[in-house]
Structure 1
Amino acid sequence: MKNLIIVGARGFGREVYDLATQCSGFNIEYVVKGFLDDKADALEGFENYPPILSSVENYKVEENDVFVCALGTVKWKKHYAELILQKGGMFINLIHPSTKLNTNAIAGTGLLVFMYANISNDCIIEDFVTIQGYVGLGHDTKIRKWAHVSSYSFTGGFVVLEEETTLNTRATILPHVIVRKGATVGACSLVIKHVKENSTVFGIPAKKLDF
């Protein structure tokens, strides 16, 4: 039996805890040992959760530990997951049993996939991707490492989300569009053409925002 440790004990961490308890491996392949967070009182006022064990920086990986990273911001997900990897930690997938992986869909490691996501034929999902609830991925979608896809988002066929991209809630990406590395798509946006690296787009149709 493995001991699952959730990196991050804030709001998203609490959601990931429930995801962990709803997956088929719970109490069969793993139990939830607790959270890692540098805010020791992050769970103060919340009941029915396992404890915060330590900060990531101070935690010593133990035998039978496995990890998931429950941080909703790509920058910090990557930062803290890499700290655990440097300590020799191993990450697992949490994929909700209601999620559908169609023929030839390929899933990497360290994934979080929430309820009723549809991962269509021949999709490729690389390591440390987060896919929240009710997401629809069209056939041949490719999602590269570290990306975050928020609830109710949709990608058409042959879409590519490059490394460290973020789709916010209800974002829609039309077929054959590429969202380049580090780009962010705003909530409820409709993307009809390629999105440039490290840019933020928003609207219908989505246009670049300058800050």
Structure 2
Amino acid sequence: MRNIVIYGCGGFGREVLQVIHAINAEAATWNVLGFAVDPGIEHPETVHGLPVTSELSTFGDDPLPDVVIAIGSPAARKGIATRLGARGHAFPVLVHPRAWLGENVRLSDGVIICAGACLTTDIELSDHVHINLSATVGHDVEIGSFSTISPGANISGNVRLAEEVEIGTGASIIQRIPVGRAAVIGAGAAVVREIPENSVAVGVPAKVIQTKSDPA
């Protein structure tokens, strides 16, 4: 079994722990050492019986544990991945056994796919993409690094999502629609036209209501 640390001990961190438990029920794969959080973040001493620490080095470096980043914010996830990757941590792919993946679905480092998700065929998920509970992804879709697909969202065929996109719970994107970098699609929205980068779009059909400032 390989040692693994879950970065983030909130709700999604606890859900990721359940993903790991489900994987281990199929075949003993992961030894969960505990949870890690950023320094200065208030946290409990334990979560589900596992220790929580702001010092990842607490878990040792011989061997260096793998890390799964269970943080919802794409920007925060990107910062953590950059920092930990420089230290040499590996980011495994975690797929719940009750997710369904078709042929030619390519998963990059740090991807998490939760129970009930359905990905059909000829799909590419870049680094640290999160596909949450019961989300669907159609054929020939590309999802950029650090994007988050929330529970029950539906991504139709030939859709292109750029990096750091957030798709809200129950939102839908129709076929062949691109979504720009760091865009946010609100819960229940129906995206029927291109969404520019750094935009917040809500409603049916989805309309841009805000343009976020670009931190870069």
Task: Note whether the superposition's TM-score is higher than 0.5.
Answer: yes
User: How far does the alpha carbon of each residue in 1:54-109 deviate from its partner, in whole angstroms, 9 at most, with x for none?
Assistant: 34598764415111000011111111121110111011011000111111111111
Residue 175 of structure 1 is matched in structure 2 by 175
Per the alignment, do residues 57 and 199 of structure 1 end up closer, same or farther by CA in structure 2, a change over 3 Å counting? farther
Shift of 1:28: 2.1
Q: Is the 8 A contact 2:64 2:89 kept in 1?
A: no
Residue 151 of structure 1 is matched in structure 2 by 151
Per the alignment, do residues 27 and 62 of structure 1 end up closer, same or farther by CA in structure 2, a change over 3 Å counting? farther
User: How far does the alpha carbon of each residue in 1:119-173 deviate from its partner, in whole angstroms, 9 at most, with x for none?
Assistant: 1111111111000010011111111111100000001110111111000101100
Give structure 2 stretches of 5+ with no counterpart. Answer: 212-216
Q: Is the 8 A contact 1:56 1:80 kept in 2?
A: no
The reply to whether residue 109 of structure 1 matches residue 109 of structure 2 is yes
Q: Give the Cα separation in 2 of the matches to 1:24 and 1:148.
A: 24
Shift of 1:26: 7.6
Residue 51 of structure 2 is matched in structure 1 by 51
Q: Is the 8 A contact 2:135 2:153 kept in 1?
A: yes
Q: Is the 8 A contact 1:56 1:84 kept in 2?
A: no
Residue 90 of structure 2 is matched in structure 1 by 90
Residue 191 of structure 1 is matched in structure 2 by 191
Shift of 1:14: 1.4
Q: Give the Cα separation in 2 of the matches to 1:155 and 1:2.
A: 33
Q: How does 1:63-102 map to 2 (within 5 A)?
A: 63-102=63-102
Q: Is the 8 A contact 1:66 1:91 kept in 2?
A: yes
Aligned length: 210
Q: Give the Cα separation in 2 of the matches to 1:40 and 1:160.
A: 35
Amino acid at match of 2:12: F
Amino acid at match of 1:100: W
Q: Is the 8 A contact 2:24 2:30 kept in 1?
A: no
Per the alignment, do residues 162 and 100 of structure 1 end up closer, same or farther by CA in structure 2, a change over 3 Å counting? same
Q: How does 1:128-139 map to 2 (within 5 A)?
A: 128-139=128-139
Give structure 1 stretches of 5+ with no counterpart. Answer: none
Q: Is the 8 A contact 1:10 1:43 kept in 2?
A: no
Q: Give the Cα separation in 2 of the matches to 1:62 and 1:128.
A: 24
Amino acid at match of 1:180: G
Amino acid at match of 1:139: H
Secondary structure of 2:50's partner? coil
The TM-score, its normalising length taken from structure 1, stands at: 0.92
User: How far does the alpha carbon of each residue in 1:147-202 deviate from its partner, in whole angstroms, 9 at most, with x for none?
Assistant: 10000000111011111100010110000000111111000000000100111100
Q: Give the Cα separation in 2 of the matches to 1:126 and 1:134.
A: 19
Secondary structure of 1:175's partner? coil
CA-atom RMSD, angstroms? 2.1
Q: Percent identity?
A: 28
Per the alignment, do residues 58 and 31 of structure 1 end up closer, same or farther by CA in structure 2, a change over 3 Å counting? closer
Residue 43 of structure 2 is matched in structure 1 by 42
Secondary structure of 2:201's partner? strand
